[in-house]
Amino acid sequence: MAKSEIRGIYDDRRKLKFLKELAISSHVKNSATAASVSVSTVYLWRERDPEFYQQWMRSLAAGYELLEVDMLERARHGVEKPVFHEGKEVARVRHYNDGIGVKLLLAHRHMVAMTRAAEEDINPEQVRASLDRKLADMHEKLLKREALAERGRAGSTAFDNDE
């Protein structure tokens, strides 16, 4: 086997490793490091190899889909966080970030509306209006919650200043 053939097989393995890592992490530098190749080399491959470029883009799309699934999981089920008292963990609480959920809903509301309209033969404008109302309600609740938390912080500061 010629030296160039061996190098080609070696490069193919490194390309495959890079693409797998890119699909998991969506991070070019870390993926290149995992594939034992320089960042400049992967960009050179991308520039010179149209098939590799297409695989790169598919890997990135897969990585972003994984990230979206992770964010959706956090929005739906929250994240457990420890509560400490005097340096010791005394409890765990589930923290929800409604902002993530709202952003995901906004990103997909058009697609959801069109899918529902196609499945149920509903006017897309009615679906959009319904989704807009729901999102506005969620946004209003989020603002009220933030305002309530801010008043609580302001109240505790005023109380601290009275002492």
Q: Is the pLDDT of residue 88 over 90?
A: yes
* pLDDT at site 87: 94
Q: Is the pLDDT of residue 92 over 70?
A: yes
Q: Is the pLDDT of residue 136 over 60?
A: yes
Q: Give the mean pLDDT of 108-131.
A: 74
Q: Which residue has the higher pLDDT, 83 or 112?
A: 83
Q: Which residue has the higher pLDDT, 40 or 127?
A: 40
Task: Write the DSSP assignment of the chain as a string of letters.
Answer: --HHHHHHHHHHHHHHHHHHHHHHH--HHHHHHHTT--HHHHHHHHHH-HHHHHHHHHHHHHHHHHHHHHHHHHHHH-EEEEEEETTEEEEEEEE--HHHHHHHHHHHHHHHHHHHHHHHT--HHHHHHHHHHHHHHHHHHHHHHHHHHHHHHHHHHHHHHH-
pLDDT in tens, 38-65: 999 999 999 999 999 999 999 998 988 8
The pTM (predicted TM-score) of the whole model is 0.52
| Per-domain boundaries in the chain | 10-96, 97-155
* pLDDT at site 97: 83
Q: Is the pLDDT of residue 113 over 80?
A: no
* pLDDT at site 98: 82
Q: Is the pLDDT of residue 81 over 60?
A: yes
